[in-house]
Structure 1
Amino acid sequence: METRYENEFGTEIPEHIAKKGKEMGCYKPAYIYIDGEWMKHGKFPASNLNIKEKSQRFRDAASAEAHKVNLGDGWVVFKSPSGSGTRGSKKNDIW
């Protein structure tokens, strides 16, 4: 059976994109976005890569855009500006 992933806005994430995010070390699927999707919802995106403890929401669009990472097919994630690596043994424990 195929696992279904959705981001924080309820948008279904294609399985190959979710898999790529997990392989890259994304904290959780909720913060994988279609590029620009967060702007339509009036919320800044949350960081999803290089997380030390938990995701943090960006405070401005310029910072978010500077930390954007392309997953392909129009999907993106955002690196933490303050993180210095993945969460060690807890990496991907949200998946």
Structure 2
Amino acid sequence: MVRSKAASKKQQKRGIDFKKIKRKLGRKLPPPKNATDTQIKSRAIILPEQSVAAEKTGLAVSKKGLTLKELLQQTSHHNAKVRKGILLYLS
């Protein structure tokens, strides 16, 4: 009889560490304990470099309305036709 009590205590100790959670049918799984929340909540995103109302007065602009700085930025464009067109325009 003494052995059966000792065996039952070992089972209880083992079950505490690895307790299985019973889930009901059709319910979503809860997120894991180490999950990271990646949601960003913001009222407005302000990009000062890409302002629509950027003033180009006093600067030399091309036929397309681009300044020299913008034209030089397009020389490193990913599209080969755009790079070629800008280099032909600058020459």
Using the size of structure 2 for normalisation, the TM-score is 0.24
Higher helix share: 2
Higher relative contact order (CA 8 A, sep 6+): 1
Using the size of structure 1 for normalisation, the TM-score is 0.24
